[in-house]
Amino acid sequence: MFHVTVHKSDVQETKSVPEFPQLSKTLGQFSSQSHKPNPSPPEFQKQKTFPHSPSDLSILGLVDNFSTPSPILNHLDNIYAKLKQLSKYIEPLRRMINKIDKNEERKKDLSKMKSLLDILTDPSKRCPLKTLQKCEIALEKLKNDMAVPTPPPPTVPPTKQQYLCQPLLDAVLANIRSPVFNHSLYRTFMPAMTAIHGQPITAQTVTPRKRKYEEDERQSIPNVLQGEVAKLHSKFLVNLDPSHCSNNGTVHLICKLDDKNLPSVPPLQLSVPADYPEQSPLWMDNPRQYEANPFLQSVYRYMTSKLLQLPDKHSLTALLNTWAQSIRQACLSAA
């Protein structure tokens, strides 16, 4: 309990101030000087004045701060605004910390990230604005690793009218340069067109008459050739050529390629000698069949060049695989 002595008209009164003695003393001096209209000149001027203590000066500074705006408040507002701006990094930073928490090689990065997270989340740790700006630069560098979610752009309604067949037209334009484009169109639309318009009108094909042979003159297929044909891939369809019959043991075959990934090409006509596999099968090429378009011409060129690379004694399977490789290589060169 402190006592303050106030001189008023030569009468001493003792008033008790329960708390804040320095504040009460200072405010008492201000009130006595401001509310006293005409103090007695002789006694008031003769009264001895003392300099203010440091505590009084601090209290006076607080009083001035209440009355005038301070730049500190603006600085604090900037700090709070920067913290609010950096709050978007809190959740991505936490996910990044949880992700590399068990990684022993990134302990140094982990400690830095935890320090950044403490600055952003701990209210007891308030840093100056320059430190927050440095934190922002560091967080911008980690933005790609943290994958900060960005709001999706606003959806703009389409201005052009979407037609019903627009997806089909887009697919046609995207694949029009493909070498198997016509083949794909035929397989896709031919059943529907046939159902609508019926079978196309074509001239009747005259089937050649087969010659009748006696039992001893009928063509016989060697067992080696039959076993090899049975082991062929299912995409190779091998049949006897009905237009060629011989009694000298030579077997004429027609081979078709049934592969969904390759376009349709003319069938392959082969002649297998009687002493196969001592002698290699022969390709009975017909250049006119490959003059229809540039794609078939490239197939013919690749086929003739690859046959020259085969050994002198090769099997029927090797010849058919070379044929399929030639078609595939022609497709790649046309793409």
91 and 56 in a single domain? The answer is: no
Domain that holds residue 85: 71-146
330 and 225 in a single domain? The answer is: yes
**Last residue of some domain: 84, 116, 146?**
146
54 and 108 in a single domain? The answer is: no
The per-residue pLDDT for range 108-158, each reduced to its tens digit, is: 777 788 887 787 787 777 778 788 788 888 878 777 666 545 555 666 555
Calculate the CA 5 to chain-centre distance: 82
- Residue 70 is predicted with a pLDDT of 62
Residue 277 lies in a domain: yes
Tell me the C-alpha distance between 238 and 116, whole Å. Answer: 74
48 and 138 in a single domain? The answer is: no
76 and 58 in a single domain? The answer is: no
**Last residue of some domain: 67, 91, 123?**
67
Number of domains in the chain: 3
Residue 234 lies in a domain: yes
239 and 310 in a single domain? The answer is: yes
- Residue 156 is predicted with a pLDDT of 54
17 and 82 in a single domain? The answer is: no
Residue 92 lies in a domain: yes
Residue 181 lies in a domain: no
55 and 93 in a single domain? The answer is: no
The per-residue pLDDT for range 245-269, each reduced to its tens digit, is: 766 778 888 999 888 888 888 898 8
Tell me the C-alpha distance between 278 and 37, whole Å. Answer: 140
- Residue 33 is predicted with a pLDDT of 44
**Last residue of some domain: 51, 67, 83?**
67
318 and 242 in a single domain? The answer is: yes
Taking only the tens of pLDDT, the chain with its 335 residues reads: 334 444 444 434 434 434 444 434 444 444 444 444 444 444 444 444 444 454 444 444 544 444 455 667 777 777 788 778 878 888 887 888 887 777 767 777 777 888 877 877 877 777 787 887 888 888 787 776 665 455 556 665 555 556 788 888 888 888 888 888 888 888 888 899 889 988 777 766 767 666 554 444 445 678 888 888 888 888 899 988 887 776 677 888 899 988 888 888 889 888 888 888 888 888 888 888 888 888 988 989 998 898 888 888 889 899 999 999 999 998 988 76
Residue 185 lies in a domain: no
294 and 259 in a single domain? The answer is: yes
Residue 87 lies in a domain: yes
278 and 322 in a single domain? The answer is: yes
Is pTM, for the whole model, over 0.75? no
Residue 212 lies in a domain: no
229 and 281 in a single domain? The answer is: yes
Residue 207 lies in a domain: no
